[in-house]
Amino acid sequence: MTEISLDKALAENLVDTKLRVLQDEIGKILQAWNYTDAARFLKDAKKGVIQEAEEDAIGMTNLLDQREKLLQLKKRWNS
Residue 42 domain-assigned? yes
Count of structural domains, the chain: 1
Q: What is the pLDDT of residues 14-49, one digit of tens each?
A: 999 999 999 999 999 999 999 999 999 999 999 999
Taking the CA atoms of residue 5, residue 24, residue 71 and residue 11 in that order, the dihedral angle to the nearest 10 degrees is 10
Residue 62 domain-assigned? yes
Q: How many H-runs (helices) and E-runs (strands) does the chain carry?
A: 3, 0
Residue 13 domain-assigned? no
- State the pLDDT at residue 50: 95
The pTM score is 0.89
Domain of residue 37 covers: 19-74
